[in-house]
């Protein structure tokens, strides 16, 4: 998963891709590192999902626009709408299962 690029916007990515996953994290968030690794491993087998990592230390405005108040936070947009959201303590396995169902429905 790559870091969001300078000038790249969430809205732009959501309009260009059917499924977009964002992970919001902070440099001081230890669990964020482990979650990012698990996301990257899972995403390597799901190329139809566009994904970006967003550091709130570098992009606080993007966190504010998405009502991100705690970390780690994962937000998934499907066809332009927030479809899945996990924040703080959440199950990545549940998020993966929901994504698998969405991918199946969309194919």
CATH number, residue 48: 3.40.30.10
Residues shown for the chain: 107
| pTM (predicted TM-score) | 0.95
Measure CA 57 to chain center: 16
Domain range for 42 is: 2-106
Domains identified in the chain, total number: 1
Beta carbons within 10 angstroms of residue 82's beta carbon: 13
pLDDT at 107 (0 to 100): 86
pLDDT band at 24 (very low <50, low <70, confident <90, very high): very high
């Amino acid at each position: 998963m790559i870091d969001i690029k300078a000038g790249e916007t969430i809205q732009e990515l959501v309009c260009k891709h059917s499924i977009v996953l964002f992970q919001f994290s902070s440099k001081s968030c230890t669990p964020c590192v482990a979650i990012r690794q698990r996301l990257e491993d899972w995403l390597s087998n799901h190329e139809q999902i566009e994904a970006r990592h967003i550091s709130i230390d570098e992009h606080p405005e993007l966190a504010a626009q998405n009502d991100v108040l705690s970390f780690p936070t994962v937000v998934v947009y499907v066809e332009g709408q927030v479809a899945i959201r996990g924040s703080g303590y959440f199950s990545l396995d549940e998020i993966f299962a929901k994504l698998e169902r969405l991918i199946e429905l969309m194919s």
